[in-house]
Amino acid sequence: MAKNNKKMVDEITSMEEDFAKWYTDIVKKAELIEYTSVKGCMVIRPYGYAIWENIQKILDGMFKATGHENVCMPMFIPEGLLQKEKDHVEGFAPEVAWVTHGGSEKLEERLCVRPTSETLFCEHYANIIHSYRDLPKLYNQWVSVVRWEKTTRPFLRSREFLWQEGHTIHATAQEAIEETEKMLNIYAEFCENSLAMPVVKGIKTESDKFAGAVSTYAIEALMHDGKALQAGTSHYFGDGFAKAFEISYTDKENKQIHPHQTSWGVTTRLIGAIIMTHGDNNGLVLPPAVAPIQTVIIPIAQHKEGVLDKANELKEKLSAEFRVKLDDSDNSAGWKFSEYEMKGVPVRIEIGPKDIEKGQCVLVTRHNREKTIVKLDELTETVRTKLEEVNKGIFEKAIENREKRTYACTTLDEITQALKDKGDGFIKAMWCGEESCEDGVKEKTGVGSRCIPFEQEEISDKCVCCGQPAKHMVYWGVAY
């Protein structure tokens, strides 16, 4: 029996009414996740996982092209190992999950379920690095980690999540810093080209950097509702971890030297970022590069002779270049239209008896619902062009949203007024560099520092909080 084609859309709360509920409705209705009996943990369903697989495939290729190799570290970290780097363990202590028993026996030493793997990599480096000839090591792993978050939301913040974590170790500080910046640039390139999501590149303030890092670089994106989302980070550790874990190598002059390290990572949070950057009140809008289905073929009046045969012929032809699905189920065409709009499929192809007679089909792009009549012998080229148009269109829309929601302010009152009049967004304002003023901006306006962008502007010459001479222009915002 055909289903009601309006049911899916009717059950989505509009983003204007309640953005958080809109988001939750989409991740459920688009069949990206399901909740579990373990609070704060989720089942990533096949469609959601397929998005992650495409993210993984593209990034993994980019990492390997820059010389990185994949490894896999253990899930458990002995407590003594975790305690070796004081700042690092203090930073993660509130979120650590502990294993205290193996079967019915109490463990002699607690095991931490990895929240991140710096300490494990350091233990390994200490065993394998002895000479300058052993450097650099350029490693990455695709794993899950556990952080016992108090407030959770699918993809954005969960107690267990998937990620990649790169870990590299170098002979010199310069090499390590170059690596840190290179990987941040790879993340930015990926987000803007493959996810059609514009980002701001910058460095985190001292108070906001990763536990144990000398410096943390980040890419920050602005969601449709004006809230900021940290989409990726890259950390320079200096030789602090190497000293704590007694990692050293013999250089060409036969001196013992501590190497310098980095780490960098992105997570399944990127799926949440895609939803909140591009989605609309009809569901997902997926960037073609990571869409599980790039084009769906909907046969019209498929019971009529020749329709399914032609639809299958088109699928076989297009599958050589694109991820294609043919929906030949007995649901109504209207229901199918709603379903694949909900799932964010970039391009829809409609073909029925009259189209076949004319040697054409109808092509609909998801982001703007624009219809195009296409000759069948030009279909492959047209689909390719339309996918490029979708990517360009949603990127430009995201840029437009960011520009509309970015406010340059010179005083705390201006920040407060801009947020009141225009809603959440990026605030560009000057800062003296003092943590007390960083805290003061958040306390008085509600926006925290997101990053010190590499591309600096001089909004004024005075700190937005204290009025003293400013050192940096900072992006501020309300964050997920």
Q: What pLDDT score was predicted for residue 292?
A: 98
Please compute the mean of the pLDDT values over residues 173-185 and round it to a whole number.
98
Q: What's the count of helices (H) and strands (E) in the chain, helices before strands?
A: 15, 23
Q: Of the candidates 361, 296, 365, which has an alpha carbon nearest to the alpha carbon of residue 328?
A: 296
Give ranges for CATH 3.30.930.10 in the chain.
Answer: 7-278
Statement: residue 360 has pLDDT above 50 = yes
Q: Is the pLDDT of residue 44 over 50?
A: yes
Q: If one looks up domain 7-278 in CATH, what number appears?
A: 3.30.930.10
pLDDT band at residue 182 under the 50/70/90 scheme: very high
Q: Where is 243: in which H helix or E strand? A: helix 240-244
The percentage of the chain sitting over the pLDDT mark of 70, rounded to a whole number, equals 98
Whether the per-residue pLDDT at 404 is higher than 80: the answer is yes
Backbone angles phi, psi at 460, to 5 degrees: -160, -175
What kind of fold does domain 295-389 have according to CATH? Answer: Rossmann fold (3.40.50)
Average pLDDT in the chain: 95
Q: What pLDDT score was predicted for residue 85?
A: 74
State how far the alpha carbon of 410 is from the alpha carbons of 57, 226, 445, in Å. 44, 20, 13
Q: What confidence score (pLDDT) does residue 89 get? A: 73
Contacts of 210 (CB under 8 A, 6+ apart): 91, 204, 216, 233, 235, 263
Nearest to 361 by CA among 346, 344, 383, 345: 383
The pTM (predicted TM-score) of the whole model is 0.95
Domain with CATH 3.40.50.800 in the chain: 295-389
Quote the percentage of the chain above a pLDDT of 90: 94
- pLDDT of 32: 98
What integer is the mean pLDDT of 14-21? 95
Please provide the CATH number assigned to the domain covering 406-477. Answer: 3.30.110.30
pLDDT of residue 452: 98
* pLDDT higher than threshold 90 for residue 4: no
Maximum separation of any 2 CA atoms in the chain, in Å: 81
Residues in contact with 400: Cβ distance below 8 Å, sequence separation at least 6, in sequence order? none
For residues 236-243, average pLDDT: 97
Q: Give tens-digit pLDDT for 411-439.
A: 999 999 999 999 999 999 999 999 999 99
- Per residue in 204-228, pLDDT (tens digit) is 999 999 989 999 999 999 999 999 9
pLDDT given at position 8: 54
Q: Which residues belong to CATH 3.30.110.30 in the chain? A: 406-477
